[in-house]
Chain A
């Protein structure tokens, strides 16, 4: 795994999900998700996404508003990069790679592994949506007998 790509993917993922790099690494899913993205969109698109993010981040410095503006202008509204970025968010939250929009597939003539699939059984149980709502992924990591009788613990970001 290329360290630079790996670091850039973690930085991008942290911004997109609202979770710290530390928290993301704790899931053990950074490498599988980077590989899944590469297999689906190819090396070139992946590199363009990560390089663009690195540029946006550098240009924004510590200015959060500028980061948001840059991210929306140069990635999220970009015809090529936007759908991929949104897929990365969804992958972190539920562990599923969703097939890219038809328009994207037509333009890219993708031959990658782009069909909707759960990255792995572990990516399901490590998905971030559940801790986001103070719950556990159904079928795993239960909170214990009677835990449901108390109000949920939701960490407000």
Chain B
């Protein structure tokens, strides 16, 4: 873990039409760490996550003020394709494309113009290995991705993302569609991936945040109420709202 920020925001405000969804958010994600965002539904944690790869651009009537930095560079100065390649995202519901496993895996490569079959096959193998799917899937790469179990689908989505060599991975409640055992396995995967990637995860599950993350941010009604090392947040939170939430008094 080093101390430079892979992601950061400075007085970030975001509006959906007239709704003020993010209020003066100052936030950092450090390189090669796992940072968790927790908070009750509708507090803006997914919205904040989606700022970093400009997925909010897909929604009409979004207005953003303040700055968002990726590797200390303002994202408005980065071309959106480069940005999304660098800052990958895994969604709440596993979303493999309705094609074969192999086609899912080479989608990103083809999208970025990599046509070399042999090289692509090596990348597919490497990335499937990284998520622990290679042994299980190597003999059925050409079966439909939609026939996999939910956990394997989510792993496949992570592997698919790794093919385009992101530096930062955003995970938007990646385990909410999974059973507890699958959840634990995805968490183990996250900890393995931390060595090479910076991870920002939004989660409803406080135990998950406590288990996997190095830093935790607590959000409430669009504000980042508290941000600190995970051990601090869960043992001695400074803000009474944070304490109220993690002890289950509200949320």
Do chains A and B interact in one complex? no
Residues of A participating in the B interface, judged by any CB pair closer than 8 Å:
none
Residues of B participating in the A interface, judged by any CB pair closer than 8 Å:
none
